[in-house]
Structure 1
Amino acid sequence: MTTLDLDALVAIDVHTHAEVSDDGHPSLSPELEAGKAAYFKADTPQPTVDELAAYYRERRIAAVVFTVDAQAATGHPPIANDEVAEACARHADVLIPFASLDPHRGRAAVDEARRLVEDHGVRGFKFHPSLQAFWPSDRMAYPLYEAIEELGVPALFHSGQTGIGSGLPGGGGIRLKYSNPMELDDVAVDFPDLTIICAHPSVPWQDEALAVAAHKPNVYIDLSGWSPKYFPPQLVRQANSLLRHKVLFGSDYPVITPDRWLRDFEQLDLKDEVRPLILKENAIRALGLA
């Protein structure tokens, strides 16, 4: 099996989505999928993981791939983690498999986390507190974090506002409050050896995210979900200075393409030595790829 050639890569995208399974099963319910498409003005078919791999290989970019298991809150079955991992294994020169487990599954999620890492080569886990309807600091999730910490892989948490449910009546039942990045402060304290990635510019809680990342050595921020031209100024300022080793390139593909993200990233007022840190070097350390 081919593995990543880190020297040949121009970047590592730490945030992409498996949106449709091999048999056509979508990652979200029809209502949420339609709302998301309207929010992001997406009018193209969702790529399969194989198509995602071809897209990233052409650009010499590696990509972390995951879906979200939010069945307890939404009633919609997720794309199987095994399928995502197996697809990534077919394209191990460009794809890095993450899994997603609903914390509401309790002990079953803990056992599944161990199986996915040990038997399927999963390299991290994605949580979406708003979609999964849980507080990250809820002790319900702690046995799962403990297992992930012991397995030595990162946990990536959605933070801030979400396009999922936006514009739907009642926001599609999705509550933004769960995704305040200050919730990750307790997790970082209680699991100091767990690498935590706080995903997205965390509107409306950008300052909270910056404070946690600056204070806790095990917390990183990914820059996915927004064009860089819309980044809050304090995020750009700290990415260029205090947090230069804590910030990661992420696109949120397919809703935002790396082509657009990288084009707008070029226009940011960043020091030349900071750009390669954000695009690749910080991710190598955060993902344990060295």
Structure 2
Amino acid sequence: MTTTYRPAIDVAAITALDMHTHVHASVHETEPAHNETLAAMAKYFKSGDTPPATLPDLAAYYRERGIAAVTFTVDKGPTKPDPILRNDEIVELAAQHSDIVIPFASVHPARGEQAAREAERLITEGGVRGFKFHPNSMAFFPNDRSAYDLYEVLNAHRVPALFHTGQSGAGAGTRGGGGIRLKYSNPLHLDDVATDFPDMPIVLAHPSFPWQEEALAIAVHKPQVYLELSGWSPKYFPPILVQYANTLLRDRVLFGSDFPLITPDRWLADLEKTGIRDEVKSGLLKNNAVRLLGL
């Protein structure tokens, strides 16, 4: 790796920090191919025709709004075709847009010892600030011991691990759910991980329907567990989630949109339709994430 990411974000100048955005297209593609999975997800999220965005596209969009953004791809594992968009490209481009973009990496635990070595390289040489796991798409239980060598690296560096939890928009409404099984994303599996790796911050992405109370219980019990609220319009948040966001977990709730399927504009507008208290919003929208990421 020839490029190292170093954040150059003016924390005082940004209004929010979006913990959950996706980059689906490489700058090396002359014309991104039609992606049936993304098209199905756009239909599910009612987001219209959303073309795949490159990282420079994303940076320009967020810079215009004064919002910093964590972004990533998903490594679906050694049995799947190699992704067009790789971790190294995200690191390289994030370094060019370090005033607004924060790179997370994705490494599938099924890569075994190679996964741990790759995580070490991406942290120490690439400067990535966290890792994204999508148990449904990756088809693994987060507490499977095969993932523990990888977690050991993240734990040693105190790097956050962000896990998709709950219902998945990927495959929703398609035949057989696109082969995606929801059982992998029950947040209760992450209670083992939080117990065994107490120095690895864990971010539970999305309201964890239908296991919201399990997610809340884990976050209350394990102080390194955060709730990240992407993938849903806030106006649909269950009352118990709003209650805990306002009280016991106000310092560990995080703004995330799920761009490009849900835009930050839509998410932030709908936040005003909730019972989230005004005094909680500065932490939710920016300060909690700034602290978590060491900015």
TM exceeding 0.5: yes
TM-score normalized with structure 2 length: 0.94
**1:125 Cα deviation from its structure 2 partner:** 0.2
Give me the identity figure in percent: 58
**2:204 is paired with a residue of what secondary structure?**
strand
1:186 aligns with 2:197: no
Find the partner of 1:99 among 72, 95, 105.
105
Greater Cα shift, 1-10 or 121-130 = 1-10
Q: Residues 165-186 of structure 1, C-alpha deviation per residue, up to 9 Å, x if partnerless?
A: 1111111111000000011100
Q: Residues 51-87 of structure 1, C-alpha deviation per residue, up to 9 Å, x if partnerless?
A: 1001111111100010100034654635200001111
Distance 2:134 2:33 in 1: 13
Q: Counterpart in 2 of 1:6?
A: 11
Q: Counterpart in 2 of 1:198?
A: 204
Rate the CA distance shift 1:32–1:186 in 2: closer, same or farther, 3 A.
same
Find the partner of 1:162 among 168, 184, 189.
168
Q: Residues 196-254 of structure 1, C-alpha deviation per residue, up to 9 Å, x if partnerless?
A: 00000001110010000111001000000000001111101110111101100000000
1:226 aligns with 2:232: yes
Q: Counterpart in 2 of 1:20?
A: 25
AA partner of residue 130 (structure 1): N
Distance 2:210 2:248 in 1: 21
AA partner of residue 64 (structure 1): V
TM-score normalized with structure 1 length: 0.95
Greater Cα shift, 36-45 or 199-208 = 36-45
Find the partner of 1:36 among 38, 41, 48.
41
**1:32 Cα deviation from its structure 2 partner:** 2.2
**1:27 Cα deviation from its structure 2 partner:** 10
Q: CA RMSD in A?
A: 1.8
Rate the CA distance shift 1:78–1:147 in 2: closer, same or farther, 3 A.
farther
Distance 1:2 1:210 in 2: 31
Distance 2:32 2:215 in 1: 27
Q: Counterpart in 2 of 1:236?
A: 242
Contact 1:156 1:196 in 2 (8 A): yes
**1:152 Cα deviation from its structure 2 partner:** 2.1
**1:21 is paired with a residue of what secondary structure?**
coil
Distance 2:79 2:59 in 1: 30
Contact 1:2 1:92 in 2 (8 A): yes
**1:23 Cα deviation from its structure 2 partner:** 2.4
AA partner of residue 260 (structure 1): R
**1:38 Cα deviation from its structure 2 partner:** 2.3
Find the partner of 1:46 among 35, 49, 52.
52
Distance 1:147 1:208 in 2: 26
Contact 1:20 1:48 in 2 (8 A): yes
**1:274 is paired with a residue of what secondary structure?**
helix
Find the partner of 1:279 among 251, 263, 285.
285
Distance 1:114 1:26 in 2: 33
AA partner of residue 168 (structure 1): T
Paired positions, count: 289
Contact 1:67 1:78 in 2 (8 A): no
- Unaligned regions of 5+ residues in structure 1, if any? none
- Unaligned regions of 5+ residues in structure 2, if any? 1-5
Q: Counterpart in 2 of 1:149?
A: 155
Greater Cα shift, 49-58 or 38-47 = 38-47
Q: Counterpart in 2 of 1:68?
A: 74
Rate the CA distance shift 1:169–1:45 in 2: closer, same or farther, 3 A.
same
Find the partner of 1:265 among 258, 265, 271.
271
